[in-house]
Amino acid sequence: MKTTKKSRLNLYDWFYKRDHKEDADDDRDAPRNFAFFFKLLFRNFSRVFTLNIYFALGGIGLWLLILLVSGIVGPHSSAPTSDLFAPLYGAAAFVEDPSPILNVLLSVHAQVTEIAVMTPLMITLIVIAVVLLALTFGPVTVGITYNMRNIVRGEPLFLWEDFWHAIKTNLRQSILLGIVDLAILAALVYGVVFYYLNLGGAQVFGTFFLFTLVLIVFYLMMRKYLYTMLVTFELSLFKLFKNALIFAILGLGRNIVSLVGCLFVIFLNWMLFSAFMPLGVIMPFMITIGLCIFIEVYIAWPKIHATMIAPYLDENGNYIEET
């Protein structure tokens, strides 16, 4: 009598073992459409979860920077919440018998709150976090994107080895791309926040605010192609951005679907954060970021393959030699 061995959770197999098993039906040539997305995601959910953990461990600079800038850690001091407190307090100090109105205004604007104090130690830690972020963001994203691309392509996986192989192969360019990527994102976010806070001023700020929002949307549609092309081709940084710009336009419909999908995942995370904060905080370290990268690579890879690879393959899938 044949007995079946009960499968157990094995962390070594989950993190390290290469999966050579073939599916009952070969999906390697299946169209990467909306229906197949969920099938592929369900089949590789544990791998997406594992790659998200890789990002959480490798993105220590990002988490440290968020922690320091948020003011959760470090020394704090008390400060009034209203800008009118200082002039009202000064007026009351120079008047022997303040009027009842002045006393009421002073009591209303005398509310205090705790603010973080930027000490030399805090500034040093922020600089260290920024340097760590600049050195790790690009390589970690490249390692994860390489594995995600192999998942979408239907290739055998060895997550840990493939992760480090992609980083070692593209270390210099991945660091450079990560720095440029972060600089562009920081500039766009700063611009949209600046123009939003000044919407009550000149009308031109409203125009710049909408223009910056459009730039953010368009750049987010470009980003998915940058890292996927980096792990696939040997291209200069200029050609990566040029091709990403072209793909953002050619695949506009798919790119919008990808953007909406990532926003929906983030929205669900935010709703979970609002309902039960501890679980909502943990989700980006567990699945949210990995799921967003999977969505982006799933959308980007078919367009890259159809445009930059398929035209140079023969009927047998071999590259056509130039004559």
Q: Of 265, 304, 293, nearest to 141 (Cα)?
A: 293
Given a cut of 70, is residue 315 above it in pLDDT? no
d(C-alpha 197, C-alpha 209), whole Å: 10
Spell out a b/e string for 39-76, using b for 16 or more CB atoms within 10 Å of the CB, else e.
ebbeebeebbebbbebbbebbebbbbbeebeeeeebee
pLDDT for position 75? 76
155 pLDDT tier (thresholds 50, 70, 90): confident
Mean pLDDT, to the nearest integer, of 45-74?
Answer: 89
Helix (H, G, I), strand (E, B) or coil at 79: strand
Length of the chain counted residue by residue: 323
Given a cut of 60, is residue 173 above it in pLDDT? yes
d(C-alpha 226, C-alpha 141), whole Å: 11
Lowest mean pLDDT among 11-20, 67-76, 102-111: 11-20
| More confident position, 109 or 248 | 248
- Find which of 77-86, 105-114, 166-175 is predicted with most confidence, using mean pLDDT: 166-175
Mean pLDDT, to the nearest integer, of 294-308?
Answer: 94
- Find which of 25-39, 89-103, 246-260 is predicted with most confidence, using mean pLDDT: 246-260
Listed by start position, the domains of the chain span: 75-117
